[in-house]
Amino acid sequence: MSAPTETIHELAGLHAAVTGSSSGIGRAIALELARAGAEVLIHCRQSRQKAEEATEAARQIAGRAELIVADLRERGQRDQLLEEAWGRMGRVEIWVNNAGADILTGPAAKLPYLDKLAALLAVDVTATVHLGHEVARRMKSAGGGVILNMAWDQALIGMEGESGELFAAAKGAVMAFTKSLALSFAPEVRANCLAPGWIQTTWGQKASEAWHKRVLHETPLGRWGTPEDVAKVARFLASPAAAFVTGQIVAINGGAVR
C-alpha cells in the first residue's frame, strides 16, 4: 500500500532560513519546510549552481524561495546574511543553523589537525553562536520563533580518531550553547538541537565497506539514515506540534546506543 499524499501545511504563512542548504541535509530540511508550507531562504557559501537548483525546487513546492550567498567564516558576511534575510522575507520565524565545515571530503580532508579544528570552530561553532544569538534576539522582539542547531549524536559519548575528536569539540559546544540559548530566550523562542547519527551524505556515499559494516552493526534499524530522515524531524520541531519542546538534543540515529 502506498503512503498517503502529504497535504498538511502546518507552516503555511511562515518564513524559514536554512544555512548550508545547497545540498545534503540542509537542502532536505529546506525542501521539507517548503512542503509544510513555509517560504524558504536557501544559503550557500560557494556552491551557487546547486543552491540555485535547491531554490528553484523550493519555489516549485511553496511558490516562493530566496537565495543568499555568504561566507559564514566572516563576521561581516554573517551580519549581511541577517540583514538580507529579514529584508527579503520581511520576517523569519524559523532559523536552521545547518552550515558546517567539511573536513572529511575534498582538499580539506588533507589539512593538518589544527587547521581542521580552526575550520570547524569558525563555521560550526562561531557562526552558529553568532547567528543563533542574533536571530533569537530578533525573534524575541517580534514575539516568537524557532531555532534549530546542528550537532552530532556521538559528541557526548565520544568516537575514536582525529575526526571524532574534532567533531566532538565542535558539536559538543553547539549542544551546550543550544541549551543555554533556549533558557535565555524562553518563552518566546524555542531552540533545539538536531543530533544526526550515521547519515548517508557525501562522505557516507563514498565510505569503505568496513565503514558500511560498522554503520549497520551500530544502528539497530539496520541502515544508514538519509537527509530526509533528519529533515522530517526538523519539520516537527519547527511546527506547532512541538510547542512544548525546547532546549533538547534530539538524536536521529536509528536507535544507536554506543
- Asked if pLDDT for residue 242 goes beyond 60, the answer is yes
User: Residue 208 falls within a domain, yes or no?
Assistant: no
Cell matching residue 150: 546542528
CATH number for 186: 3.40.50.720
Q: What is the pLDDT of residue 8?
A: 85
Q: What is the pLDDT of residue 166?
A: 97
User: Residue 201 falls within a domain, yes or no?
Assistant: no
Q: pLDDT digits over 216-228, tens only?
A: 888 899 999 999 9
Q: What is the pLDDT of residue 7?
A: 64
Q: pLDDT digits over 136-180, tens only?
A: 999 999 999 999 999 999 998 898 999 999 999 999 999 999 999
Residue 36: closest CA among 192, 254, 242: 242
Confidence of residue 1 (pLDDT cuts 50, 70, 90): very low
User: Residue 82 falls within a domain, yes or no?
Assistant: yes
Share of the chain above pLDDT 70, in %: 97
Cell matching residue 104: 572529511
Residue ranges making up the domain that contains 47 = 15-195+229-252
Q: What is the mean pLDDT of the chain?
A: 94
Please state the rounded mean pLDDT for residues 121-137. Answer: 98
User: Residue 178 falls within a domain, yes or no?
Assistant: yes
Q: What is the pLDDT of residue 258?
A: 66
User: Residue 20 falls within a domain, yes or no?
Assistant: yes
User: Residue 134 falls within a domain, yes or no?
Assistant: yes
User: Residue 239 falls within a domain, yes or no?
Assistant: yes
User: Residue 188 falls within a domain, yes or no?
Assistant: yes
How many folded domains does the chain comprise? 1
- Give 213-222 contacts, CB < 8 A, sequence gap 24+: 218/256, 218/258, 219/253, 219/254, 219/255, 219/256, 220/254, 220/255, 220/256, 220/257, 221/254, 221/255, 222/254
